[in-house]
Chain A
Amino acid sequence: MRQMLVHPIRFMRDHRLVASQASAYLDRELDEPARRRVERHVRVCPPCHHLIESLRGTIAGLAGLRAETGVEIADVVIARLRDA
């Protein structure tokens, strides 16, 4: 947090950047300068570090929900189409 005392305006600007662009950062959709700003800020700001890591865990958890449906839905749909 020392950065906040040394460069308070830059610190808060980068803080807002992380809050709004955390998803874009994790999706690797930021350009190189923005990515570097996020990484520099996250190293010195515990709340932003927590935000990034907890969002990363959330996204990984969501990907883990991808699963088979357990239903032979194609047969059901085709039967309905033939009835229609």
Chain B
Amino acid sequence: MGHEEHELVARAQRGERAAFEALVRLHADQLHAVVLRLADDRHEAEEITQETFLRAWRGIDGFKGEARFFTWLYRIGVNEARRSSQRRSGLRAVTSLEQHRIDPRDPAPGPAQAAEHRDVRSALEAAIGALDHDYRAPLVLRDVQGLSTAEAAEIMGLGEAAFKSRLHRARLAVRSAIEPYLSAEDER
């Protein structure tokens, strides 16, 4: 954490709202980019991002400086996204995501399914969206946002071995879903 950010956190912990607002300006875009990939739509993502900062403001005394501020903040955001995902799951009564959504042995999509995606980007987005939160979050933090394994594991509250295992399974699931596009690109 840089000196300036450290100062802002200390001032926010003394109750200075302006200092916390400066922290919002420093981190909101990046946090929102993560949350957009964890939520189902933009409206839900905005709600999660707002709720994350509200919780952070109310709980900033609980930040002890052992982790970097953004790690602490992202952890709140990822947990908030998980709660939101659980609420959605409760509404939809989905079958076991563990078994059906991320099994790397799932066959690649057929031609009809592939035709629904204009390109590899939309296929990737659909594949990420089909992952359960516990697999989607490691993938988003590590591969989409480019955080280090250590940072992403800390945000998830996981040991590195457990984090890497989830990340690998998530990558295999996405790979399986976009395989036809990878093959098509190889042939060009």
A interface residue numbers (CB < 8 A to B): 20, 22-24, 27, 29, 54-55, 57-59, 61-69, 71, 73-74, 76-78, 80-82, 84
Contacts and interface: CB of A to CB of B under 8 A. Distances in A.
Output the residue of A59, A61, A63, A65 with the most chain B CB within 10 A: A61
A30 B145 CA distance: 22
Interface in B40-94: 42, 46, 49-50, 53-54, 57
B117 interface: no
10 contacts: A20-B168, A22-B168, A55-B175, A58-B174, A62-B139, A62-B144, A63-B143, A71-B46, A76-B49, A78-B25
Interface of B: 17, 20-21, 24-25, 28-29, 32-33, 36-37, 42, 46, 49-50, 53-54, 57, 120-121, 124-125, 128, 139, 143-146, 149, 164, 167-168, 171-172, 174-175, 178-179, 182, 185
A78 B56 CA distance: 13
Nearest to B145: A66
Nearest to B143: A62
A74 B46 CA distance: 10
A20 B25 CA distance: 41
Contacts of A29: 149, 164
Closest 3 CB pairs of A and B: A62-B143, A74-B28, A23-B168
Given A69-B36, A71-B32, A58 B54 contact: no
Contacts, number: 94
A73 B28 contact: yes
Q: For the complex, would chain B's binding face be called helix, strand, loop or mixed by DSSP majority?
A: helix
Contacts of B171: 23, 55, 58-59
A73 B164 contact: no
Contacts of B182: 54, 57-58
A78 B178 CA distance: 39
B32 A73 contact: yes
A27 B125 CA distance: 22
B33 A61 contact: no
A62 B136 CA distance: 12
Given A23-B171, A55-B171, A76-B46, 6 more contacts: A20-B168, A58-B174, A68-B33, A73-B32, A76-B49, A81-B24
B20 A81 contact: yes
Nearest to B42: A71
Contact of A27 (B53, B149, B172): B149
